[in-house]
Amino acid sequence: MATGGTASPFFFLNHFLLFEISFLLEPSVSISLSLGLMVFYLFSKQVNPTPASLIALLSFVFMTPLAFLSGILYQRFKKRLKKTSPFPL
């Protein structure tokens, strides 16, 4: 059963997954997830050699640093909130 690969209308959900993983787990996990997804799409032969699908695949290169940095900022904010909050989180 084919999913459509990078031509799928649900491909953008991979970017949401990248950000959610960086918020829920360590931010460095988003780097390995991004590399893993890129390798998966390349070796599953679901990427057509068209410019649109290659741009969709290269979007992980630009989204990974954003997910990593936002994950770090979220972890810092959560740690600071835990220190200053009178109520247990």
Question: What's at 88, amino acid-wise?
Answer: P
Mean of the pLDDT values across residues 61-88? Answer: 88
pLDDT tens-digit readout, 11-47: 889 999 999 999 999 888 999 999 998 888 888 877 7
Q: Indicate the domain borders of the chain.
A: 12-84
Angle made by CA atoms 38, 40, 42, in degrees to the nearest 5: 70
Q: CA 31, CA 41: separation in Å to the nearest integer?
A: 16
Say what the pTM is.
Answer: 0.78
